[in-house]
Chains A and B, each alone.
Chain A
Amino acid sequence: MKVGVIVFPGSNCDRDMFHVLTDVFHLNTQYFWHEKGLPHDIDAVVLPGGFSYGDRLRAGVIAANSPVIDDVKKLANKGIPILGVCNGFQILVESNLLPGVLLKNDSLNFMCQWTNLIVKNNKTPFTNKLQLNQKIPIPIANGEGRYYADAQLMHDLKKHNQIVFTYENYVNGSLQQIAGICNEDGNIVGMMPHPERAAEGVINPLDNKPSSLIFESLIHTIGVKN
């Protein structure tokens, strides 16, 4: 079983994600520099956070147009689980793998703080070990994390159960307090908060179990035993 972590110029949570996948959850993980193609036998792909291409033009837009995304699309079509965290989520949105847009936070500032997520869909490959409405203490760290969708899209998101996480409280002006969504098939999940920053007890001042379940869900999905 193999998990790929894609690294773009400017990615900066790649090493954190790698550490959690390998050292904490013992997954066979490999980095993929953005110029490399992804192998066909990969079992899951993670797009980590950071500032790919220095957020030039718009967060995620340049990375979304890089060749490796074509490989991600092919894997996604095969139903392989894809997770985008923070900048990874922005890239998934910019590459149309996920619908909607991520706007500047309504504070107009970068925001780094702990929040609580509420699980709204526990059928995805990254949430199947979580309970519906379970609370996840987790930090956010972004400047452009305010999710926006027009009325039609919002209607569709609800219809297809695509809202995966919402914030428990008002955070940044996200529509319906959305923090994470998935595609219609449910195998592509994007989220602004950082599960890799919350999965270990020593750096999580509240409770690391719920965030751990995001990774354990993946393990459950791709069939690696603990």
Chain B
Amino acid sequence: MSLQKHETKYVKDTIKRKLTKTELQIVAAEWSEHCSYKSSKKHLKMLPTTGPNVILEKGYDSGVLDVGDSYVVTVHIESHNHPSAVEPFGGAATGVGGVIRDILSTGTRPIAILDGLRFGNIENDAHARWLFKNVVSGIADYGNCLGIPTIGGEVEFDDCYKNYALVDVAAIGYGKKDRLIKNHANKGDLVVLIGGPTGRDGIGGSQFASNSLESEDRSAVQIPDPFIEKLIIETILEARNEKCINAMKDLGGGGLSCAISETAESLGIGIELDVDSVHTRESGLSPDEIMISESQERMLIITCKEKLSKLKQICDKFGVTCSTIGHVKDDKMMHVKKGKNTLALLPAEFVARAPLLDRKKTKPKYLKQIKKENKAKKTLDYSKTILKLLSSPNISSKHWVFRQYDHEVGIRTVVKPGFDASVLRLDNGKFLSTKIDGNPKHCYLDPRQGAIGCFEEACRNVVCTGANPIGMVDHLQFGNPEDPEIFWTFMESLEGLTEYAKFLRIPCVGGKVSFYNETPLGPIKPTPLIGVLGIIDKTPFLPVPPNNGDYLIIIGKTRDELGGSEYFEYIHKFIGGICPSVDFKDSKINMLAVLSLIKNKLVKSVHDCSKGGFAIAVSELSIFGNIGCNIDINNMPFVKNLSSEKILFSESHSRYLLVIDQKNIIRVKQFLSKKKISFAVLGKFSGDQINITYKSKNLVKIIVDILRKRYFSGLEDLLKHG
């Protein structure tokens, strides 16, 4: 239990009496950083959250976007880092479960999962490999059983996550606008808990997640049961159709305490409940345990008396247990009873709104040292370097991961995982494109530019499928916020994201903050993760592999930005330098240019140029088409006096590679020149090897077949043999 001094004082001043034991437990759970956002809430307001497509309702745990024709898309993102670091299978699985229920609580059917996974160095750390394998199994086990496709995501390895794991899960829902649950409640309505029994798992989970991971507190990790979750999904969607649901909330962090207080607060009602009515897994659970247990697969529903029997009938059909645990009052109080005895009686608003904090921030000292260390690196054989990068865990193909996920179920997946962004078809004839991106290496060197970069990269990926970005979700993951240096990195990232979101007018429709991500070796690198949703109005853009004679064009300027690149970090084991920054104007005009070319069917495929830089992006295109290319990078748009290694490996933003059919090349060139886009025609696809020349000197010469083998075996070999 962790109430801090000023909180104890606030309690005393407001309630003017001593809290009961149960009240103290409830307040401690709800006021944990995890549930209350007490460090971040004041600042999160800066993000733009409204827009023409955004639908706002009381008490929603996920963002809702209008996608036209009376349909909506819902989206949410969460992490399950602490639990996954202790018990990777269960931690990751319950992470999926939690975010799925957030989607469900708006009354929409979950249709896709994306996950961002981060671990220590799996090349030399068996524990990191163990975490990785089990996290992937946990996600697969849960998502596959639910029949919700895991359509994309990212995996990254970095020493800063040693003995730790970041497991971020984003989920997307879809439904009819008129079937959204408009949360409301009237005096006398019934409060019903449906789903799995409440047990001793996940006791104090949210507080566990609001501290550094010092003890491996296993009882704080929840136990997954995807079968019950699947039944809950079908039960709730049927109950929604039968109009049995007035209001609904998922039980997540903080368990019943959180769900009851937040529901009562957001709807301006009082709720009285009896802990004896809660169905439990075992006998002898104390009332306090019932109130803060984070057992999974539970939903809180408010229904009116007349609808209760229908709701019970639907629950019976699916074999889902349902208990009426209380009723709605108009006194705005949260009243917990056991039989006739009152255990807790507090104003819901008091419980749901923790006193917020003003954390101090100071620019971290490490940032000053890092840039000084930027020295010239020894020139290497570029062909060998490319091969090494392509087979490195961060860059090589992630098919070992996504083939364990059912990414086809639901028969919506048009662009499958493994490309830039994944694309789903929607029932109204439109298509939804999504991607999540993070880059702790960049964010460590410059939390502001790094965060903007992640945002832009996710946008770029979505744009590569021909989609217009319409909304974003963010997940901000940092170390201990009580450390002013860490808090500074949080604020920088948040401000950067806000600035870019406002510039592009992309509303933030959901998000999460996760602090206290600390490993035994110290805080993780700042790891904001950005998810972007885009809409394609008519036909999806399906990338066509490059053929003999097709041209390669690059859009966007390459800069002196090797800091945080895979080239520096993986090849040279060097952390430092200047990380890429986004030029807002270029970012926007390049995006619009690409979208316009796709719309006019002038490109065969578009590939985002990011991790590993130009050299890796062009290799991936060659692998995709199983064809070589002859490229001269002399004319490439780059800043003055850029060395060849920087041209090849710098991870500058706003860059796209385009494959253009011969017959369209003149039109494309004219269009890009007219729009004043920085671009160059670099060469043509042909033969069976990649040749890159610069100032008449051959820099790179690699057989595509070798590239392909290295790209596809890199990660898989590492996992098969250990």
Chain A residues in the interface with B (C-beta under 8 A): 9-10, 12-13, 15-16, 19-20, 33, 35, 49-51, 53-56, 109-113, 139, 141, 143, 194, 196-197, 200, 202-203, 205
Chain B residues contacting A197 (CB-CB under 8 Å) are 408-409, 411
Residue on B nearest A56 in the bound complex, by CB = B227
Question: Does B406 lie within 8 Å of A51, measured CB to CB?
Answer: no
The 8 Å CB contact of B147, one of A13, A53, A55, is: A13
Chain B residues contacting A13 (CB-CB under 8 Å) are 147, 409
Closest Cβ–Cβ distance, residue B719 to chain A (whole Å): 10
Interface membership of B393, Cβ < 8 A: no
Interface membership of B331, Cβ < 8 A: no
Chain B residues contacting A53 (CB-CB under 8 Å) are 227
Whole-angstrom distance between the alpha carbons of A30 and B426 in the complex?
Answer: 23
Question: Does B407 lie within 8 Å of A112, measured CB to CB?
Answer: yes
Closest Cβ–Cβ distance, residue B96 to chain A (whole Å): 14
- Other A-B contacts than A10-B230, A55-B145, 16 sampled, CB-CB below 8 A, are A12-B146, A13-B409, A35-B317, A51-B145, A51-B227, A54-B145, A54-B226, A109-B140, A110-B141, A110-B144, A111-B404, A112-B408, A113-B403, A141-B144, A202-B425, A203-B413
Question: Does B406 lie within 8 Å of A112, measured CB to CB?
Answer: yes
Known contacts A9-B231, A10-B230, A112-B403, A50 near B416 by CB under 8 Å: no
Known contacts A51-B144, A51-B145, A109 near B404 by CB under 8 Å: yes
Interface membership of B410, Cβ < 8 A: yes
Residue on A nearest B415 in the bound complex, by CB = A205
Closest Cβ–Cβ distance, residue A19 to chain B (whole Å): 7
Kindly supply a per-residue 1/0 record for chain B positions 53-78, scoring 1 wherever the CB is within 8 Å of any chain A CB and 0 otherwise: 00000000000000000000000000
Kindly supply a per-residue 1/0 record for chain B positions 97-139, scoring 1 wherever the CB is within 8 Å of any chain A CB and 0 otherwise: 0000000000000000000000000000000000000000100
Interface membership of B318, Cβ < 8 A: yes
Whole-angstrom distance between the alpha carbons of A143 and B145 in the complex?
Answer: 11
Residue on A nearest B539 in the bound complex, by CB = A202
Interface membership of B540, Cβ < 8 A: yes
Name, among B403, B407, B411, the residue most crowded by chain A CB atoms within 10 Å (CB to CB).
B411
Closest Cβ–Cβ distance, residue A104 to chain B (whole Å): 13
Whole-angstrom distance between the alpha carbons of A141 and B230 in the complex?
Answer: 18
Closest Cβ–Cβ distance, residue A16 to chain B (whole Å): 5
Closest Cβ–Cβ distance, residue A141 to chain B (whole Å): 4
A-B pairs with beta carbons under 8 A, tally: 85
Question: Does B227 lie within 8 Å of A12, measured CB to CB?
Answer: no
Write 27 A-B pairs (CB below 8 A) sorted by A numbering.
A9-B318, A10-B145, A10-B231, A13-B409, A16-B409, A16-B410, A20-B411, A33-B317, A51-B144, A51-B145, A51-B226, A54-B145, A109-B140, A109-B403, A110-B140, A110-B405, A112-B402, A112-B406, A113-B399, A143-B144, A194-B408, A200-B411, A202-B414, A203-B408, A203-B413, A203-B425, A205-B542
Residue on B nearest A140 in the bound complex, by CB = B408
Whole-angstrom distance between the alpha carbons of A131 and B413 in the complex?
Answer: 28
Whole-angstrom distance between the alpha carbons of A133 and B449 in the complex?
Answer: 57
The 8 Å CB contact of A205, one of B147, B319, B406, B416, is: B416
Residue on A nearest B410 in the bound complex, by CB = A16
Closest Cβ–Cβ distance, residue B234 to chain A (whole Å): 8
Whole-angstrom distance between the alpha carbons of A110 and B141 in the complex?
Answer: 8
Chain A residues contacting B399 (CB-CB under 8 Å) are 113
Chain B residues contacting A20 (CB-CB under 8 Å) are 411
Chain A residues contacting B402 (CB-CB under 8 Å) are 112
Closest Cβ–Cβ distance, residue B173 to chain A (whole Å): 15
The 8 Å CB contact of B406, one of A15, A141, A200, A203, is: A141
Residue on B nearest A16 in the bound complex, by CB = B411
Whole-angstrom distance between the alpha carbons of A112 and B139 in the complex?
Answer: 14
Interface membership of B225, Cβ < 8 A: yes
Question: Does A196 lie within 8 Å of B317, measured CB to CB?
Answer: no
Chain A residues contacting B146 (CB-CB under 8 Å) are 12
The 8 Å CB contact of A203, one of B137, B230, B412, is: B412
Residue on B nearest A15 in the bound complex, by CB = B410
Chain A residues contacting B137 (CB-CB under 8 Å) are 109
Whole-angstrom distance between the alpha carbons of A88 and B287 in the complex?
Answer: 44
Question: Does B411 lie within 8 Å of A110, measured CB to CB?
Answer: no
Whole-angstrom distance between the alpha carbons of A17 and B146 in the complex?
Answer: 16
Chain A residues contacting B141 (CB-CB under 8 Å) are 110
Whole-angstrom distance between the alpha carbons of A113 and B416 in the complex?
Answer: 10
Question: Does B408 lie within 8 Å of A10, measured CB to CB?
Answer: no
Residue on A nearest B407 in the bound complex, by CB = A112
Chain A residues contacting B542 (CB-CB under 8 Å) are 205
Whole-angstrom distance between the alpha carbons of A51 and B234 in the complex?
Answer: 14
Known contacts A54-B145, A202-B425, A141 near B404 by CB under 8 Å: no
Whole-angstrom distance between the alpha carbons of A19 and B406 in the complex?
Answer: 19
Whole-angstrom distance between the alpha carbons of A12 and B137 in the complex?
Answer: 19
Chain B residues contacting A113 (CB-CB under 8 Å) are 399, 403
Question: Does A51 lie within 8 Å of B408, measured CB to CB?
Answer: no
Question: Does A51 lie within 8 Å of B230, measured CB to CB?
Answer: yes
Whole-angstrom distance between the alpha carbons of A19 and B409 in the complex?
Answer: 12
Chain B residues contacting A203 (CB-CB under 8 Å) are 408, 411-414, 425
Chain B residues contacting A109 (CB-CB under 8 Å) are 137, 140, 403-404
Residue on A nearest B413 in the bound complex, by CB = A203
Question: Does B409 lie within 8 Å of A12, measured CB to CB?
Answer: yes
Residue on A nearest B144 in the bound complex, by CB = A110
Whole-angstrom distance between the alpha carbons of A205 and B407 in the complex?
Answer: 14
Within 8 A of A (CB), among B301-340: 317-319
Chain B residues contacting A10 (CB-CB under 8 Å) are 145, 227, 230-231
Within 8 A of A (CB), among B384-443: 399, 402-414, 416, 425
Residue on B nearest A49 in the bound complex, by CB = B409
Residue on A nearest B431 in the bound complex, by CB = A202
Closest Cβ–Cβ distance, residue B437 to chain A (whole Å): 23
Whole-angstrom distance between the alpha carbons of A50 and B146 in the complex?
Answer: 8
Question: Does B416 lie within 8 Å of A196, measured CB to CB?
Answer: no
Whole-angstrom distance between the alpha carbons of A53 and B230 in the complex?
Answer: 10
Whole-angstrom distance between the alpha carbons of A220 and B160 in the complex?
Answer: 61
Whole-angstrom distance between the alpha carbons of A143 and B137 in the complex?
Answer: 11
Question: Does A196 lie within 8 Å of B411, measured CB to CB?
Answer: yes
Residue on B nearest A14 in the bound complex, by CB = B147
Chain A residues contacting B317 (CB-CB under 8 Å) are 33, 35
Chain A residues contacting B404 (CB-CB under 8 Å) are 109-112
Whole-angstrom distance between the alpha carbons of A139 and B406 in the complex?
Answer: 10
Chain B residues contacting A35 (CB-CB under 8 Å) are 317
Whole-angstrom distance between the alpha carbons of A109 and B408 in the complex?
Answer: 17
